[in-house]
Structure 1
Amino acid sequence: MTDRRTTPNPAWVDSSAPAQIGVTLTDLLDAPNGMRDRQLIYGDPITVLGARDGHSYVRSDKDGYIGFVQTTALANATRPTHRIITRTSHAYARADMKSPDHVTLSYGSRLTALSETPKFIETVAGFVPRQHLTPEGHWHEDPAAVAEIFLGTPYLWGGNSGTGIDCSGLVQAACLACNIDCGGDSDQQARTLGSALPEGTVPRRNDLFFWKGHVALVFDSETLIHANAHHMTTAFEPIKTALARIAKSDGPRTAHKRLKLHLAK
């Protein structure tokens, strides 16, 4: 059985051209003017597979997810030099924090430096504070620490940004920042991430717990961090509390998996 999320529909494919997202945030839709599946953020590299009626049919290069975006959200592909490492940041009109801000940028947004000042990097989007950036290709080592950056971010089904995120979006942001390939939805993550552990294994930091339609990251042996609709935010929750609560609505935990972490480069 093919998965429409990762398998192109031939009826929509008439090209294959690189591009990137040129707006703060855009929904990746299941059909033109359809429902949100996921979101793409500024600088996300994509491949345009087709275009029609104001929408482009695209593949997200970071995870292979396929869907529709408004064509006006696209920009020419560039080679990124930096990546946002704070939950959100701003691109300013000038190298001055009191100048007007042009756009809000989310964690993971990719940018290309045009010039540099002691405190700012100039990009097409504007001037971004150096403190909010890391060089492209610099990886983190601790997914749980990345997830913690999103603490308090409102829950948004299908969300992938610092202004709204869901359970799988949080895990994906944490994994990609640590150079771990990661799908966009929790069922994809359950199939491909980590190694399954037997029932009764003591959880440790950066383990993953899966339920039907939900995923959470272990912060420590007694605590989870997850974006969840119960709290409507990204929150810490005791593992025992979460297991009991979620079992009442979505059933028991379906998997406990352990990530293979890469050393940062």
Structure 2
Amino acid sequence: MTQPCAPLDPRLNAFRDDLADAALKGRVSSERFAEGRSAGVVRGIADLRRAPNARSGLDTQLLFGEAVTVFDEADGWAWVQNRTDGYVGYVESAALGAAPPPPTHRVTALRSYLFPEPNLKAPPLDCLSIASPLCIVGREGDYAALHGGGYVYGKHIAPLDDSEPDFVATALRFLGTPYYWGGRSSVGLDCSTLVQLSLACAGVSLRRDSCQQATSAGEALNGLPGEVVLQRGDLVFSPGHVAMVLDASMPDAARIVHANAFTMTVAIEDLAALEGRVRAETGGGFTAVRRIAQGN
């Protein structure tokens, strides 16, 4: 997923003609500036849209437990910035609650139910996705109690500092997950979210969109596929897309794992097959390769 990057990216900077983040004063023109207030996401998944309208384009999603800064609120919509990756957009006000305390854990299962009590037979309140940050305040049997109420199965979470360094293995857990433009959960996701969430489980923070990742993730390699020796975990970029190298033991037969609109799933594919489609669709080839330090 990608869109053209601007010098002052409106996806990562909260500014409108009538209102802007106080931190941008002197950098943008606006009628007024505001510090914003803190809030937390109280839905398992909440859509972040380009305009305060349910029919507006979906840019990304917020996850349960994430903290946001609210700059404006009207007619059931809040204009916010996600503190996890800086993304700006409109979310339904009903998806927000009080500012969350610092998280202590994160969801490690692809999906896990939020229960009203520590009982698997209780009708779930919601379903949480992998990488959702949680503040755990106690244990009751096999379940962990959340700040603010609710319980999750204890084996589906881990302390924040308990990372999963093999982010390629994490990406493989998503195999078969539907491709969903703007999706940012294990229910449906796009190419850059597969990378973002997999790295998040390894304790590495990444930007949301592929054009942002192509200039900021890890370290840029001095060359493109066919010119450099690829390694497991390398990120290969093409216009509007990012894929993760699965294995490169045979340089001419490297494989990748990626969320893609060709199979409409997260799938394993030969890198050469992707290159062929890229050249046919864009007239060009790959644009960058970036390497994430293993073991983070």
> What TM-score comes out, normalization by structure 1 length?
0.93
Match of 2:129 among 106, 109, 124: 106
Pair member with larger Rg: 2
Q: Would you say 1:57 and 2:82 are equivalent positions?
A: no
Q: Distance in 2 between matches of 1:80 and 1:27?
A: 21
Q: Would you say 1:87 and 2:114 are equivalent positions?
A: no
* Structure 1 stretches of at least 4 aligned residues deviating more than 3 Å after TM superposition: 12-15
Partner of 1:101: helix, strand, or coil? coil
Identity %: 35
Partner of 2:136: helix, strand, or coil? coil
Amino acid at match of 2:45: L
Match of 2:39 among 16, 19, 33: 19
CA distance 1:243–1:29, shift in 2 (3 Å): same
Residue 231 of structure 1: aligned partner: 263
Alignment of 1:87-236 (within 5 A): 87-123=110-146, 124=148, 126-197=150-221, 198-199=223-224, 200-221=227-248, 222-236=254-268
**Post-superposition offset of 1:22:** 0.6
Compute the RMSD of aligned alpha carbons.
1.6
> What TM-score comes out, normalization by structure 2 length?
0.84
Amino acid at match of 2:19: W
Q: Any stretches of 5+ residues in structure 1 without a counterpart?
A: none
Partner of 1:2: helix, strand, or coil? coil
Q: Distance in 2 between matches of 1:206 and 1:12?
A: 41
How many aligned positions are there?
263
Amino acid at match of 1:211: S
Q: Map Cα deviations across residues 117-174 of structure 1 (whole Å, 9 max, x no partner).
A: 2311022452211111001233221221221121111100011001110001111111
